[in-house]
Amino acid sequence: MPPKPLSGITRRTAVSGLGAGLLAAACKAAPDAANSPGAGIQKGWSMGDPLPFPVQEIYPCAHDGALHLAGGFVAADGQITGPTDAHHLWRPDGKGWRVSAPLPADRHHPHLISWRGQLWAFGGFESPVPDAIWSMQSSGWVLDAARGNWAPAPALPVPCAEAVMLVDGTGLLHLAGGRSPAGRANASWQDQADQTHHFVLDDPAGPWRPAAPCITARNSAAGAVLDGQLHIAGGRSVAGGNTPAHEVYEATEDRWRTAAPMPQAQGGLAAAEHGGRLYAFGGEFFDNGGGVYSEAWAYDPACDAWTAIEPMPHPRHGLGAVTLDGAIHLIGGALKASGVDTSALVEIYRP
């Protein structure tokens, strides 16, 4: 039997009266004090160098001082045309995006992660034929920087995509949640189901091993590592739609606990850590005609509370959020729900 989640008593629920007032004041003041940029750097939103082409359903990452983007759904005239093997990187040197070693196969939703000084890509979908564009994969690759190509990496225990992949404070690589095939069929999105599974990799040679399952089965969530702990927020399930659920994994105890939920349920969002806080952006909804969320949020673990920040200038879903050079870079995505209005936008947020 898996261990029960921790009760999750928070500082917000443990204090009252004057203590609560002082804590609330401290939390309200903390973002400016903790994340204040250097003199002459303007806080808030600005535009970054646009991508070489529109792309969505991506999981970019920071690696070796650069933003890395590989795979995803590319588009023409705003409409998805299929997956890509393209790999580009961007450094804060004024030279824009540049081509890097392509993936071994066209793949959308591949999870990119920097781990043990190398760049890795796991899972996602391939589209071998037009009627099987959601063929989920378990294989992964690691970039051989010296040779400029990708080599095989330890395969996931099951095909998986739309999960959250993070490296915790102990150096373990985690893949949590997402979707995997519900049976033998694996060609369409309906063939796969939401999962609570959780796998960890502690040796680059493998294998992956199971860890405590997530509390909530969901896909298209987002997260980051705060003070060594995994935080996963938002996402959605086929049965329940978007969720505000926020869960924290404590590696030393191999347990998940619940934390303050997002103020709004947002699936298909992006998230990143900055200054010890979790920042969450965008996402999509399908009811009432569908659309994308402009709302953005900051979570402070010191008081287990979310605060609204300035909304996204161009709301998107299926985008990536990566912290680099003191700012959060919001990369690609789509300006409308589903596969419509895929974008090459890069926006930068400085807390």
Q: Is pLDDT at 19 greater than 90 in this prediction?
A: no
Q: What is the pLDDT of residue 12?
A: 33
Are the C-beta atoms of 6 and 250 separated by less than 8 Å?
Answer: yes
Q: What is the pLDDT of residue 40?
A: 61
pLDDT above 70 coverage of the chain, percent: 89
Q: What is the pLDDT of residue 41?
A: 75
279: which 2 tokens? Answer: 């920042």
As a whole number, the mean pLDDT across the chain is: 90
Asked whether residue 34 is domain-assigned, the answer is: no
The most distant pair of C-alpha atoms in the chain lies apart, rounded to whole Å, by 64
Q: What is the pLDDT of residue 130?
A: 86
CA 24 – CA 156 distance, rounded (Å): 43
**Per-residue model confidence as pLDDT tens digits over 141-153:** 999 999 999 999 9
Q: List the beta bridge partners of residue 328.
A: 323, 349
Q: In 10 A of CB 7, how many CB atoms?
A: 8
The total number of structural domains in the chain stands at 1
Q: Is pLDDT at 21 greater than 80 in this prediction?
A: no
Q: What is the pLDDT of residue 4?
A: 32
Asked whether residue 28 is domain-assigned, the answer is: no
Look at residues 254, 243, 265 and name the one whose alpha carbon lies nearest to residue 210. 254
Would you place residue 131 in the very low, low, confident or very high pLDDT band (cuts 50, 70, 90)?
A: confident
Q: List the beta bridge partners of residue 53.
A: none
**Per-residue model confidence as pLDDT tens digits over 45-54:** 999 999 999 9
For range 113-130, the mean pLDDT: 96
pLDDT above 90 coverage of the chain, percent: 84
One-letter amino acid of 38: G
- What is the distance of C-alpha 222 from the center of its chain? 4
Asked whether residue 267 is domain-assigned, the answer is: yes
Q: What is the CATH number of the domain that holds 209?
A: 2.120.10.80
The CA–CA distances, whole Å, from 75 to 172, 233, 330 equal: 35, 28, 18
For range 64-69, the mean pLDDT: 98
Q: Is pLDDT at 5 greater than 70 in this prediction?
A: no
Asked whether residue 9 is domain-assigned, the answer is: no
Would you place residue 161 in the very low, low, confident or very high pLDDT band (cuts 50, 70, 90)?
A: very high
Q: What is the pLDDT of residue 10?
A: 32
For range 234-256, the mean pLDDT: 96
The CA–CA distances, whole Å, from 115 to 112, 172, 317 equal: 10, 9, 26
**What global pTM score does this model have?**
0.91
Q: What is the pLDDT of residue 28?
A: 58
CA 333 – CA 345 distance, rounded (Å): 8
Asked whether residue 21 is domain-assigned, the answer is: no
Which range marks the domain in which residue 200 is found? 45-350
- The DSSP symbol for 189 reads G
Task: Write phi, then psi, for 106 (nearest 5 degrees).
Answer: -65, 130
Asked whether residue 18 is domain-assigned, the answer is: no
Q: Give the three-class secondary structure for 41.
A: coil
Asked whether residue 253 is domain-assigned, the answer is: yes
Q: Is pLDDT at 3 greater than 60 in this prediction?
A: no
Q: Is pLDDT at 212 greater than 50 in this prediction?
A: yes
Least confidently predicted of 19-23, 70-74, 94-98, 121-125: 19-23
Look at residues 95, 82, 89 and name the one whose alpha carbon lies nearest to residue 112. 89
Q: Give the three-class secondary structure for 348.
A: strand
Asked whether residue 276 is domain-assigned, the answer is: yes
37: which 2 tokens? Answer: 């940029």
For range 119-137, the mean pLDDT: 95
